[in-house]
Structure 1
Amino acid sequence: MRARRVIAAASVAALGVLSLAACGKSAPGIAAYVGDTSYSVDRVDAIHAEAQAKYETTVRAAFKQQNGPSASPSPEMLQIGATKQDMLNLLVGIDLAKRIIAEKKIPVQDQLAADELGESFGAPGTEYARLAADWYDLFLSLQAGLPPAELTDDLRATVYDKMVEGKVAPPGWTVEQQREAFADPAIAQQVAAVVALSAAFQDEVKREDVSVNPRYSTLEIPALLQVPNSGFGRYNLPYLEQDSTVSDISTPEPVPSTAGPDAGPGTGPDAGPDAGPGTEGTAS
């Protein structure tokens, strides 16, 4: 199976934690520091609460329209896929992206509309949707403006591992099978660009002394991958490790092969609100 089928739906988890105390910053009300900029826990909570409320309203209305005015969706159906962690990922990611863009003088174009993204997330008109639109504009600009990374077996294995975690690809591929799946030129080019962005984020984390409140378990780069004839898929790539050190995207050991590239992808999450882009974060 070609890589385009493997990655047609993507929402992968990965990232790490930086302790606030490790950098001499430990205010319990601060979710994260990026240099001298801070992002409060209250702001993260408020962004998530607004998105959750809007999502619940949207789901209830759609469910009643389809099943009658007395019908009620289950509590599970009313839970937005995005978490408070996702909101923080957007705030920090936008901040780091803007710093890199300013330093490298990369042009940014307005390519994604907040209204459209909000509708796809089930949370139109929210700050979450606006953050998502801002982030993906920055992400696409960085993807085009940074020199692509060379895709080694180690890097392919790491990306593949995250796809398996997200049930986007079947487990058990050998190194050769991973090479084959990522051989599609269009897919390889985009993945190489995202790996380069991860490296740029690692450098920025060192430079700006990024630190995260221990209550948040991870930080992630929400990435888009355009699959020919299939639209966009979304997945996340790590740039920090849990031991508070900057990651070099270490490679997991390949597991024994139980399925080849023709096995087909797993069922990834819908293009719902589990990962979004964002606007430039401001201290609060």
Structure 2
Amino acid sequence: MRARRVIAAASVAALGVLSLAACGKSAPDVAAYVGDRSYSLDRVNGIYDEVQAKYGDAVRQEAGQASATPSPEQLRAPVTRQDVVNLLVSLELGKRLAAAKNLQVPDEVTPQQLEQSLRVPATTEYAKLWAEWVDLLQVFNQQLPPAEVSDESVMAVYQALVKAEAIEGGLPVADVRQKFGEGAFVGSATALSAALEEEANRVDVSINPRYREVGVPSLVSTGQSVIFYSLPYINEEGPVTDISSPDAASPSASPDAEGTAS
């Protein structure tokens, strides 16, 4: 993607998120609270484990047809538990925002349409949740007026793409703007950020500290392929604080140990 312009198929948002402890929501077995809804660590683990199991089975089957033996790395899907949390939280906020704005969200995108680009079997819950999320993103991109494309917003999206290894790093903002073309997708991303931030503040969002670097799942089309990435809106320097749980402080609980970055 060194010389190509980036064309957005969906965008990303930055949200104001409070810590579990700050809101009195500190159950160590809960990954996230969104208003009156909670998402347990068991739910996150279940979605993640299903992706890894079905992906591994698919790779083994394909490798068997070629009489090859896949490596452990090849058997791991490019999905982390952090990705699962990002998707669950963003989807819930998106649904609430659509309802508040009386937006009709058609059921158009199927998991099968995303399977090849997402690199996740269409039969998994993760793929099904992604299909719902893309339906929402398409509506928001059509209904929310785009915001001004600032250097800060351009570089935020750029750094997220660098992290996803989708574009070369170390570029100045002028070069990034040239690669992004008119940057319309950054304007859409900024508008969605503002809308979701308002919704997050309204319903009260709390995140388990083990998932400090929370981001909104996003995808961008280069015209030849689709890139999935995530733009963090809270990290180790953000307002989250640890909760009293041995698991939360354990290195093994960190999503960083789960393979490919989001």
TM-score range (shorter-chain normalised) is 0.7 to 0.9
- Give the TM-score of the pair, scaled to structure 1: 0.74
Mapped pair 1:62 → 2:57: no
2:108–2:135 Cα contact (<8 Å) kept: yes
2:51–2:121 Cα contact (<8 Å) kept: yes
Structure 1 segments (4+ residues) deviating >3 Å: 1-8, 14-18, 238-242
Among candidates 86, 90, 95, match of residue 92 of structure 2: 95
Structure 2 residues without counterparts, runs of 5 or longer: 241-259
Mapped pair 1:112 → 2:109: yes
RMSD, aligned α-carbons = 2.8
1:15–1:219 Cα contact (<8 Å) kept: no
The 3-state SS of whatever aligns with 2:159 is helix
Query: Cα 1:239–1:155, aligned 2, differ >3 Å: closer, same or farther?
Result: same
The 3-state SS of whatever aligns with 1:215 is helix
The 3-state SS of whatever aligns with 2:230 is strand
What are the Cα deviations for residues 195-246 of structure 1, in whole angstroms up to 9, with x where unaligned?
2112222222211110111122322111122333x2433222233454228x
2:149–2:184 Cα contact (<8 Å) kept: no
The 3-state SS of whatever aligns with 1:221 is strand
- Give the TM-score of the pair, scaled to structure 2: 0.80
Partner of 1:233: 227
Identity percentage of aligned residues: 47
1:14-163 equivalences in 2 (<5 Å)? 18-66=18-66, 68=67, 71-118=68-115, 120=117, 121-163=119-161
Residue 119 of structure 1: how far off its partner (Å): 5.0
Moved more, 143-152 or 154-163: 154-163
The 3-state SS of whatever aligns with 2:109 is coil
The 3-state SS of whatever aligns with 2:64 is helix
2:18–2:207 Cα contact (<8 Å) kept: yes
Structure 1 residues without counterparts, runs of 5 or longer: 246-272, 276-284
